[in-house]
Amino acid sequence: MQSQRQQITTEKTLAGKQLAQDPPQTQHEETPFEFFASICSVLVVGIFVITFIFQNFEIPSSSMEKTLLIGDHVLVDRISFAPPTRWVPFVHYRNVRRGDIIVFFKPGEPKLFLVKRVVAIPGDHLHLDHGIVYLNGQAQNMPFATVPSEDGNPNDEFYPYRDDFPAVPPPDGSDVTATWAVDLPTHIQNGDLVVPAGDYFAMGDNRMVSLDSRYWGFVPRANIIGRPLFVYWSFITPDDQVDKTSLADRVGFMGHILVHFFSDTRWHRTLHRVE
């Protein structure tokens, strides 16, 4: 018993000596320079991701309904359609395909982003017959697209230029750009529009209201910046909100979002895949 007490006493003594010998550990406090450097690192990474990899966009119009709704906020992949580079060989690159939904600069208006679906690629022969797309002589099954109906709805009535494209010349006073009205006939062969090399023909899924390649021409490959991946947030937004550009209108709508965030958010569309 006495031996055990001596052993315990010895261990306590040794432990005490060890504590006395080890210098106390002090907590390192981050200097202002280190804090500033860490913030800069986060900003640099964030700017790189937003500029070269992903970008967020808001859908302002109904031209892609029911695929994309007004008020959908989508994350766009800027890498897949970018020119391949050797310094990032692990990134997946591919060509633009029929059926891809793309984000691009509108031809002739390099500051305006649009989102449409690629209907025809270089070399394709295309025409519409009563709203049905024919590619290389074959009618296309496109269940996502709207076509003229005969139920009396004025929004779905047959419109010759739009629905029998390009058989009917663009009428005066239409939304067809002057440049496209002149250029369009040079691409027609045997009643079909032939898509030239390096260009794409894009249309909105809501064909009745979409101002697309039928109205302003082909989308150059260089104008395509990416493809939407998924909806990360969707908020019920009025159809005419895109036209309200004054500061008062914008501030007012921001206040509306704050008040109605939970009630007017389309929660079922969160992380909805775009295809």
Strands in 107-223 per DSSP E: 109-120, 125-129, 132-135, 138-139, 188-189, 192-194, 199-203, 219-220
Q: Which of 7-16, 18-27, 143-152, 203-212 has the highest mean pLDDT?
A: 203-212
Model confidence over 109-142: pLDDT tens digits? 888 999 999 999 999 999 999 999 999 999 999 9
Q: Which residue has the tokens 């008040």?
A: 259
Determine the residue type at 163: D
- CATH code linked to domain 53-273: 2.10.109.10
The DSSP 8-state label assigned to residue 40 in this structure reads H
The DSSP 8-state label assigned to residue 154 in this structure reads G
Q: Which two tokens stand for residue 87?
A: 């310094």
4 vs 38, residue with greater confidence: 38
Model confidence over 215-235: pLDDT tens digits? 999 999 999 999 999 999 999
Which of the residue ranges 42-46, 179-183, 242-246, 271-275 would you say has the lowest mean pLDDT?
42-46
Return the domain boundaries, the chain: 53-273
- Indicate if the pLDDT at residue 47 is higher than 50: no
Q: What is the mean pLDDT of residues 82-106?
A: 78
Burial of 104 (0-12, 13-18, 19+ CB in 10 A): buried
